[in-house]
Amino acid sequence: MDFNVLLTDLPTLVAVVVGVPLVLAAYIVGGEYLVRRLPDKARPAVRPWIWVAPALLLVTGFLVAPAIGTVFQSFEDRHGAFIGFQNFAAQLTGFPTGGAWIAIRNNLFWLIFYTLFVLAFGLLLAVLFDRVPYESVVKSLIFMPMAISSVALVVIWKFMYAYQPPGQPQTGTLNFILNTVFHQDPRTWIQDETQLLGLFPLNDLALIGAAVWGIVGFSLVILSAALKGIPADLLEAARVDGAGEITIFRRVIFPLMMPTVVVVGTTLVIFALKAFDVVYAMTNGNYQTDVLANRMYKLLYNSNDFGGASAVAVILLLTVIPVLIFNLRQFRAVEARR
């Protein structure tokens, strides 16, 4: 170990500690200074663009431009020739098991269960934790999985789902519980395609479970911040009015948290649509667990089928539109209220 790193990496260090904040501050102060030089009438027209420009520029470079390229590529074959909707047709052929249909079905499961579980747990935990004096401790503990990288998360859940043949000592936590508490044969959670209630494959739910575990800290933190924004006297007033805790939650807390629930819900829906890490690392889509993002990844890097991958991505992007419309209505409502 030597101390050279500071000397060799001095430019980086200086850039990080001084440069970056300086550039950011200089930009906005300088921008405002220039706006103030403008005639009165022009200011309101120019000012917003000064504030949004750097963000839009980066987003355009890193997301918009590639997304537009993707849309074009989804209509092209491997050699860049226009082929109409053939890539889409290839992905949407053979309903219900061919093409991308299994992935679409699974994304639907993800959409429902992942979003619902994470929102419900987050909300439940936020409300419960709000009432105990050791809130920050339990909150940190629930948050911990968020701090675990997806690589480690997969390791953890392989331990949880590990399987040994019946009669052997189980090494997986869930099979151990299943065996000792419920006296049932162990299950191969990740490979088992048994459909619960005749509809929801066990292995899909197992993958979703691992992902839910990793992300609940996210909804907990945001929802709990929103909960803290509800004035205490409002809750006290409701209590004085004789409302029960469940009524208070339903009639006071939940409506006031609604905008935040929409934000978290929207984000989770999009996370669910983009679900990739857990599926890729645990099954790579085998055993009927494929999802759109994993399918796209395979088409992109294994098949070199950019057109097909782009078509899958476009399908994925199109599914977001209803969520966007919902959001538009939501924030227009907030706008109208003030």
Partner 1 sequence: MTVAVASPTSSTTARFSPRWLSDRLGGLVLHVAVIGLTVAWMVPTIGLLITSFRLPQDISNSGWWTALSPPFKFTLDNYSQMFAASNLGQSMFNSFMISIPATVIPVTLAAFAAYAFAWMKFPGRDWIFLALVGLLAVPLQLTFIPVTTELVRLGLTPDKLTAAGLPPFIPLWLAHAGYGLPFSIYLLSNFFRALPSDLFESAEIDGAGTLTVFFRIVLPLSVPAIASLVIFQFLWVWNDLLVALIYVGGVATVAPVTVTLVNLVGSYGQNYQLLTAAAFFSMIVPLVVFLSLQRYFVRGILAGSVKG
Partner 2 sequence: MRQLWLKRSLLVSLGAVVTAVACGTSSTPSAGSVNVMATWTGAEQASFMAVMKPFTDQTGITINYEASRDQDALLTTRVAAGNPPDLAAAPSPSLLTTFAKSGKAKALNSIVDMTALQSTYSPGWITLGEPLNDGKLYQVYSWVSLKGLIWYDPKNFQAKGYNVPNSWDSLLNLQQTIKSSGTTPWCIGLESGAASGWPGSDWVKEIVLSQSGPTVYDNWWQGKQKWTSPEIKLAWQTWGQILGPNDSNVYGGAKNMSATNFGDAGTPMFQSPPKCYMHNQASFITSFFQSANASLQPGTDFNFFGLPDITAQYAGAHVVAGDAWSMFNDTPQAEKMIKYLTTADAQAIWVKRGGKISPNSQVPLSDYPDALSKSTAQILVATKIAKYDAGDQMPSDMRNAYWSAVLQFAQDQSKLDSILANLDAIQAKAYTS
Residue type, 17: V
Residue type, 165: P
Closest CB to partner 2 among residues 112, 300? 300
Query: Residue 116: which of partner 1, partner 2, none does it interact with, CB under 5 to 8 A by kind?
Result: none
CA separation for the pair 73, 85 (Å, rounded): 11
- Smallest distance, partner 1 to C-beta of residue 199, A: 26
124's enclosing H/E stretch is: helix 115-129
CA separation for the pair 128, 147 (Å, rounded): 22
| Residues in contact with 293: Cβ distance below 8 Å, sequence separation at least 6, in sequence order | 273, 274, 275, 276, 279, 316
Query: Residue 129: which of partner 1, partner 2, none does it interact with, CB under 5 to 8 A by kind?
Result: partner 1
Query: Residue 38: which of partner 1, partner 2, none does it interact with, CB under 5 to 8 A by kind?
Result: none
- Smallest distance, partner 2 to C-beta of residue 6, A: 6
CA separation for the pair 88, 190 (Å, rounded): 30
CA separation for the pair 135, 132 (Å, rounded): 6
- Smallest distance, partner 1 to C-beta of residue 326, A: 10
Q: Are 264 and 119 in contact (CB under 8 A)?
A: yes
Closest CB to partner 2 among residues 290, 315? 290
Closest CB to partner 1 among residues 43, 193? 43
Closest CB to partner 1 among residues 63, 89? 63
DSSP symbol at 211: H
- Smallest distance, partner 1 to C-beta of residue 328, A: 6
Per CB under 8 A, residues contacting partner 2 are: 1-6, 8-9, 13, 16-17, 21, 78, 154, 158, 162-165, 188, 190-192, 280-284, 286-287, 297-305
- DSSP assignment string, 117-175: HHHHHHHHHHHHHTTSTTHHHHHHHHHGGGGS-HHHHHHHHHHHH----TTSPP-SHHH
Query: Residue 282: which of partner 1, partner 2, none does it interact with, CB under 5 to 8 A by kind?
Result: partner 2
Query: Residue 75: which of partner 2, partner 1, none does it interact with, CB under 5 to 8 A by kind?
Result: none
Query: Residue 145: which of partner 1, partner 2, none does it interact with, CB under 5 to 8 A by kind?
Result: partner 1
